[in-house]
Amino acid sequence: MSSIFDLFKKIESENQNQTEPNTISYIVTGLGNPGDKYTFTRHNTGFLALDFIAQKLGVRLHKLKFKSLCAEAALNGRRVLFLKPQTFMNLSGEAVRAAADFYKIPPENILVIFDDVNFDVGTLRIRRSGSDGGHNGMKNIIYQMNSDACPRIKIGVGKKPSPNYDLADFVLSTFSEADRKVLFSTFENVYDCVMRIVGGDIDKAMSLYNK
């Protein structure tokens, strides 16, 4: 005969199963380039933001799958796959498509976080869909998914110091100490955006952070 403690354990397990979804229904990907030399470059802002979010959720992006470092976590009622593509920026879409095909995730449920050189450091812009805006990682995702319907969070990394400054050199440059502090202080807002968007309230995220 089962003890009262066994009964409590069974009830607790059933409750956890009800509140912890076990089927991936959403993908959140941060964009960047693999390798230590790129870690704190402007182009790796998506990676840095995703690392912050993973830490908040108590998970580690260390499992190698779908050409990515990935982790899973429950977030706002959904089971979410977090991806850091290891394909280098220009081929990010290969990793995203591999995961999306495996879990049958539509573009509307793929949130992309990446850097934007059109805004000051730490400025956020949330978009429901649209063009790649000249970002090669986003461009490849749109190409691979054959859709521009992926929502995205763009994080400002500062503007080129002059119009003639080489864009590739700029995005692969590192932040000053002051700019890095500003950027990192923004990640809490990025986390809030992700929570809202995954939960189905992108309009609220846009109204709060698209200033």
* Active site residue ranges: 43
Phi-psi region of 119 (alpha: psi -120 to 50; beta: other; left: phi over 0): beta
Helix (H), strand (E), coil (C) string for 136-153: HHHHHHHHHHCCCCCCEE
d(CA 186, CA 180): 10
Q: How far apart are CA 91 and CA 96, in angstroms?
A: 9
Residue 79: phi and psi, rounded to 5, are -95, 120
115 vs 30: CA distance, rounded Å: 9
What residue type is 28 in one-letter code?
V
Q: What is the CA radius of gyration of the chain?
A: 18
DSSP one-letter string for 6-68: HHHHHHHHHHHHHHS--SEEEEEEE----SGGGTTBGGGHHHHHHHHHHHHHT----EEETTE
